[in-house]
Structures are given as C-alpha cells and as structure tokens.
Amino acid sequence: MTDFSYRGGKLFAEDVPITEISSFIGTPFYCYSASILEDNYRRFASAFQGLNAEICYAVKANSNQAVISLFAGMGAGADVVSEGELRRSVAAGISGEKIVFSGVGKSATELAVALEYGCGQFNVESESELNLLSEVASDMGKTATIVFRVNPDVDADTHHKISTGRAGDKFGIQFERVAEAYDRARILDGIDPRGLAVHIGSQLTRLDPFRGAFEKIAGLVRELRAKGHVIERLDLGGGLGIVYRDEILPNLSDYADIVRNVFGQMGLKITFEPGRRLTGEAGILVTEVLHMKESGGRRFAIVDAAMNDLIRPTLYDAWHEIEPVVEPENGGPVSPLDIVGPVCETGDVFAVQRQMPETRVGDLFVLRSAGAYGAVMSSTYNSRQLVPEVMVKGDLYTVIRPRSDFDTLIGMDIVPDWIATE
C-alpha cells in the first residue's frame, strides 16, 4: 500500500490509520508517505535515464531534514535559496558539491558560508551578485563555479504569483544581457562561469512553456559557445505541476523528450531542481472540526488548522481536495460547506461551498496534496504553534517535527526594562 486511501471505511497513510496518528499527536498535523516520496523520486530519475543528468531537490518545497535525507539517500543533491536551507541540506547529509545555490538576493554572508561549504554551483541572478561573489570569493582565496540564471521572457501559464520567467519578473538576468555578463564573468577574479540556468515558474501543467524557454536557452548556448565561452552545464530548474483538483498532467517522459530533443546533442550536464513534483502529493494536512455553525445562509465547519499552517488557499486561491477520515457512504448525501480556520482573517478559508458529506464536530478531515509549500510556509500568526510533521513508512510512523511549544514561542520576545509593567 503506497497511498493515502480508505481501508475498511477509514483513511490510512500507507499501513497506518490516520486516527492512530491523530490519537498519538493530536491535530492538526502534516503527514508524509515515505513510499510516495520514494516513488516520485524514482519515477523522476528514471525519466531522464541516458541523459547526463543530476537531480538537486528544491528544498524550499519541503525542507524537513527527514525529507531531504530520504532524497539524499536516493542520490539527490539540493537546490537551496538561503543560508538556512544550505545548512539544513548539509545537516541532512548532502555534501557541499551537490548543492546548487539559487535565489535572487544572496547576501555576502550567505555567499561566504556557501563557499566555505564548497557549494558546487552558484546560480547568479544579477551582475550585482556576480560582482559581490567575485569579491567574497577572492577575499577567501576561493573560486566559485557559477551559471547565470536567464530570464527567457516566457509566460509559464501558471498562477501569476509563481510565474518567474517573464520579462519584468524579478528573477534571472535579462536574456539580452547574458552574453555581456558572461564576458565579464570570464575576467573576474574568483569566478568560473560554466553554463546557464532557467526556471520559469511552478505548477506548470503544460509543456509548451518549457519547450519555448528551452529552445531560447539552446540558442543562447550556441551563441555563447560561438563567442568562445565554456558552456558545459545547464540547470533547467523545477516547475512540473501536480494534481490538486482535476489537472491533467503531461507525462514525465514527454517532458524528458523535450529536454532530449532540444539539448540531447549539445554535450551538456543537466541539472533538474524538482520540488513540488517530488513532495506535493506525498503529504496531507489532517485537521479536526472544532465547531459547526450557520450564518448568512451558509454552513461553516471551523477546523483547527488555519492559514498559518497551510497558506496556499489564502495566498494563491489554491484548491486542496478535502476528504473526511471516515469514508463517506458512496452516493450518500452531500451539501455545500465552507471549511474555515480559526485565525482572525476573513481570508482564513480552505474551501468555499464545497460539497461535503454530513459533518459533525470532532470529525477529521484531510487536505490533500499538502506536501509541498505547506509546512515550509507555515508561521505562528495569532501566536499559534507550528504543527507537527509525521512521516509514515509501511506500518511505521515517526514524528519528524514535533509541535512547537508555547514557552519557546513566547520566550523569544524581550520586553525592554524601560517599559513600565505596573
């Protein structure tokens, strides 16, 4: 059993009933299936067999060290965007040379730490960053291997807040300026330019935008090589979508064919940075119904998870499939229900007028496809605890992050002694 599915009328994570975990740890909690994570990684890797390719898992999607280590054990490197992600990846067992440092705003300190760890590749996003990296690396007597992240001006046809490859988006170096940046990189101290990177957005459900971007990049590779530049690496980013509702996804093999057709004869080492595709469908958020009420002609289920635990619906109007943990009767009655969290924001809503079976206080729901950009985007807004994360493998489960405690949360504040407390 490698899924979240009903058995005997109850939802299981692999071979563990969700109710067993909720009795142990309480709600809300994230639950990940190790088998699905492994399966996703295996499928991804096998689609690119025959290519000189490496997978650097995009840690931003789910940075729990258990998740990173699981992929590391399967051969993955990491794509990181901050010192924190870099340190986490190293702590989870990924060596510096298997780490790609992406991100639009790396600081001098972050660059120095990455050089100290022997970071394998810096994806440089501006001429300003190039100059800073040159300074930092030369001061340290090191050389940074870089590729330039190119903004190809391609619309990824995804939610505008996760579209990153249009001219005017903050990411990457303007296509027309890359050749000039490469010229400069060649003569800068501490810099070893080796190739290009591109990432046009996330949750792409069509392949055309990838093809469009890749063809532009292939043209640029030819142009740069003609000028005598060394282009031996290509980082194609992440971006492949998953099913949240009823999306029809392109086959991985079709995606791989595009990569082969466009770049296959160019003698390049290719890096992929998948995030959502590896973790999204491998996770659920489990929550309990705290209260039922009716207002303004609508029925509300107020659950104990909230926008601070899973912000995607609030931030991106994202749809997450919501299912009761007790299997509803097939063909049984359903009625519209608003499923909302307890946070004091009108936007703290998981579902509007969702057709749900009869619901009572104490029922458990799961929100599906919550393994990517879920726990990592959580906050303690409204002074709420960070929810636990659990990983299941077969009939085993382990709490891979406990619920944060109030003493730590409240203890972080410092009240100046010049504020009168009486």
Active-site residue set = 344
Give the shortest CB-82-to-ligand PLP separation in angstroms: 12
For residue 248, CA distances in Å to 157, 206, 277, 283 come to 14, 9, 14, 20
Segment near ligand PLP (CB under 6 A), from 45-53, 255-263, 271-279, 403-411? 271-279
Looking only at the bridges linking them, the beta strands covering 322-324 and 4-7 are unpaired
Could you say whether residue 152 binds ligand PLP (CB under 6 A)?
Answer: no
Comparing CB distances to ligand PLP, the nearer of 27 and 63 is: 63
Could you say whether residue 58 binds ligand PLP (CB under 6 A)?
Answer: yes
Which residue among 233, 276, 312, 384 contacts ligand PLP (CB under 6 A)? 276
Residue in 298, 315, 296, 295 with CA at minimum distance from that of residue 307: 315
Comparing CB distances to ligand PLP, the nearer of 197 and 325 is: 197
Residue in 132, 169, 140 with CA at minimum distance from that of residue 153: 169
Comparing CB distances to ligand PLP, the nearer of 96 and 280 is: 280
Comparing CB distances to ligand PLP, the nearer of 273 and 309 is: 273
Which residue among 28, 274, 324, 341 contacts ligand PLP (CB under 6 A)? 274
Segment near ligand PLP (CB under 6 A), from 4-12, 68-76, 231-239, 353-361? 231-239
Alpha carbon distance 83, 31 (integer Å): 26
Cα 144 vs. chain centroid, distance in angstroms? 26
User: Cα–Cα–Cα angle for 308, 357, 328, nearest 5°?
Assistant: 105
Alpha carbon distance 12, 3 (integer Å): 8
Looking only at the bridges linking them, the beta strands covering 53-58 and 269-272 are parallel
Could you say whether residue 233 binds ligand PLP (CB under 6 A)?
Answer: no
Alpha carbon distance 314, 161 (integer Å): 12
Give the shortest CB-181-to-ligand PLP separation in angstroms: 18
Give the shortest CB-273-to-ligand PLP separation in angstroms: 4
The count of residues interacting with ligand PLP (CB under 6 A) is 17
Comparing CB distances to ligand PLP, the nearer of 35 and 202 is: 202
Cα 153 vs. chain centroid, distance in angstroms? 22
Q: Applying CB under 6 A, which residues contact ligand PLP?
A: 58, 60-61, 79, 102, 199, 202, 237-240, 273-277, 372
